[in-house]
């Protein structure tokens, strides 16, 4: 993502438009700065949250992380450093964390959860420090703080998939992106950078950015038909209208616009297509291990949830059918008023 005023210099902006880093860079670009002024960070006092953050970022627990993970941590770490870096580690309590750090995010459960997770990572690091280190903790002051309730992203219904397909026929960029997410099960961070060479061997393979798990799977016939109709003018399959690869944020907005144009409800999220693939596999009898292999999960827990939900729906349908059979078998063959009475003869028997 970039900013350009008139015919001036094009200034590269951070990918996430919701991050503070993006806001700083955008404000700098508006005032004509080609490079945003970076705030100077004072050396944190010993025993403070700021000092703990500095210690964590020097540790192997942080330096060994994948670059994508570090990038995801950056906004949360900076929020804690800038707003709460002065706080004493020894003075952290459950009440102070809830009221002083998390309370401002009570109306934003996603941001609250992200901050709580980051804080717990820092607390776990504090508990590994040597005795005598002013940042060391012997207990977890965040213990007992409940995770905020998040509305889970749901899978699309088959009817909603059909609505999208009617709005965006094969050959459109929107349909190609949809097919990749639905039939490969990729997350947005992976699908926006997929290349044609990943499909040239007859299958498709990629490594999940989130978990580092390698996925190798067959190409569904519907996906093959969609890709055959797509433009193949670039290394990457999905590109902007200017022929450039998407950023993660740019691709997310592209998909949201396509979903909105199809008239689908707001809770139809791009990530829901990945869940739709899991649901469909479970409904067709795929095992948890098979679902795990396709979606690149690191544990069976998530894959088992798909099969559990599918089995529950299947059991509910079968139960209703059994009930209908029970009713049919127990219907009275003769009305109560005729019990014990001789049948009326309307003619002579032969």
pLDDT in tens, 137-147: 999 999 999 88
Q: Among 19-28, 296-305, 320-329, whose mean pLDDT is lowest? A: 19-28
Question: Where among 300, 315, 341 does a domain terminate?
Answer: 300
**C-alpha distances in Å from residue 284, one per residue of 84, 113, 290, 312, 341:** 50, 35, 12, 13, 54
- Determine the pLDDT at residue 302: 82
Q: How confident is the model at residue 131 (pLDDT cuts 50, 70, 90)?
A: very high
Q: Which two tokens stand for residue 265?
A: 């409800």
H helix or E strand, kind and range, residue 204 = strand 203-207
178, 106: one domain: no
Q: Which domain holds residue 64?
A: 49-126
Residues contacting 48, CB < 8 A, separation 6+: 85, 86, 87, 88, 89, 135
Using alpha carbons only, give the angle 99, 129, 60 rounded to the nearest 5 degrees. Answer: 100
Q: Looking at per-residue confidence, does 1 or 260 come out higher?
A: 260
Are 291 and 278 within 8 A, CB to CB? yes
| CA 243 distance to own-chain centroid | 27
Residues contacting 274, CB < 8 A, separation 6+: 181, 185, 186, 187, 295
Question: Where among 111, 126, 141 does a domain terminate?
Answer: 126
Residue 342 lies in a domain: no
- Tell me how far apart the alpha carbons of residues 307 and 310 are, in angstroms, rounded to a whole number: 5
236, 103: one domain: no
103, 220: one domain: no
- Determine the pLDDT at residue 38: 45
Q: What is the DSSP letter of 100?
A: I
109, 168: one domain: no
- For residue 227, give the nearest of 197, 251, 248 by alpha carbon: 197
107, 169: one domain: no
Task: Mark residue 186 as left, alpha or beta (left: phi above 0; alpha: psi -120 to 50; beta: remaining).
Answer: beta
Pairing of strands 11-12, 2-3: antiparallel
Q: How confident is the model at residue 239 (pLDDT cuts 50, 70, 90)?
A: very high
Residues contacting 263, CB < 8 A, separation 6+: 163, 167
Residues contacting 273, CB < 8 A, separation 6+: 155, 156, 178, 181, 182
Residue 306 lies in a domain: no
101, 226: one domain: no
Q: What is the DSSP letter of 207?
A: E
Are 213 and 298 within 8 A, CB to CB? yes
- Is the per-residue pLDDT at 19 higher than 90? no
91, 168: one domain: no
Are 220 and 183 within 8 A, CB to CB? yes
100, 176: one domain: no
- Determine the pLDDT at residue 136: 95
Residue 243 lies in a domain: yes
Residue keyed to tokens 């078998």: 329
Question: Where among 255, 280, 300 does a domain terminate?
Answer: 300
Residue 118 lies in a domain: yes
93, 200: one domain: no
Residue 75 lies in a domain: yes
**What's the number of CA atoms in the CB half-sphere (13 Å) around residue 262?**
26
Residue 336 lies in a domain: no
79, 188: one domain: no
User: Domain total for the chain?
Assistant: 2
120, 231: one domain: no
- Tell me how far apart the alpha carbons of residues 29 and 9 are, in angstroms, rounded to a whole number: 10
Residue 144 lies in a domain: no
Q: How confident is the model at residue 291 (pLDDT cuts 50, 70, 90)?
A: very high
Q: Which two tokens stand for residue 31?
A: 């005032």
Residue 6 lies in a domain: no
What are the helix (H) ranges across 85-230?
94-96, 109-126, 158-167, 173-184, 188-191, 221-228
180, 109: one domain: no
Q: How confident is the model at residue 40 (pLDDT cuts 50, 70, 90)?
A: very low
- Determine the pLDDT at residue 97: 94
Domain holding 199: CATH number? 1.10.443.10
How many helical (H) and strand (E) elements, i.e. helices and strands, does the chain have? 14, 4
């Amino acid at each position: 993502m970039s900013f350009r005023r008139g015919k001036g210099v094009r200034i590269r902006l951070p990918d996430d438009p919701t991050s503070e880093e993006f806001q700083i860079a955008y404000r700098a670009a508006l005032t004509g700065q080609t490079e945003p002024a970076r705030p100077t960070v004072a050396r944190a006092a010993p025993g403070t949250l700021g000092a703990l953050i500095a210690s964590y970022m020097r540790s192997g627990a942080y330096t060994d992380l994948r670059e994508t993970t570090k990038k995801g941590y950056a906004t949360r770490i900076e929020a804690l450093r800038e707003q709460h870096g002065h706080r004493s580690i020894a003075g952290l309590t459950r009440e102070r964390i809830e009221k002083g750090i998390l309370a401002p995010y009570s109306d934003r459960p996603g941001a609250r959860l992200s901050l709580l997770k980051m804080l717990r990572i820092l607390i776990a690091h504090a508990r590994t420090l040597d005795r005598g280190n002013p940042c060391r903790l012997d207990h977890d002051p965040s213990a007992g703080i409940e995770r905020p309730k998040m509305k889970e992203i749901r899978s699309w219904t088959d009817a909603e998939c059909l609505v999208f397909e009617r709005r965006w026929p094969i050959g459109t960029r929107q349909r190609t992106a949809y097919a990749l997410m639905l039939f490969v099960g990729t997350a947005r961070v992976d699908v926006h950078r997929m290349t044609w060479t990943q499909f040239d061997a007859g299958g498709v393979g990629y490594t999940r950015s989130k978990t580092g798990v390698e996925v190798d799977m067959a190409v569904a016939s519907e996906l093959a038909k969609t890709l055959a109709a797509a433009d193949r003018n670039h290394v990457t399959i999905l590109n902007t209208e200017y022929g450039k690869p998407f950023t993660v944020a740019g691709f997310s907005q592209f998909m949201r616009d396509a979903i909105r144009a199809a008239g689908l409800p707001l809770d139809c999220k791009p990530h829901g297509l990945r869940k739709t693939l899991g649901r469909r596999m479970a409904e067709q009898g795929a095992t948890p291990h098979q679902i795990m292999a396709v979606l690149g999960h690191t544990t069976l827990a998530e894959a088992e949830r798909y099969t559990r939900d599918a089995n529950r729906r299947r059991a509910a349908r079968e139960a209703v059918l059994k009930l209908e059979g029970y009713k049919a078998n127990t219907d009275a063959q003769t009305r109560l008023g005729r019990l014990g009475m001789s049948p009326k003869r309307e003619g002579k028997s032969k």
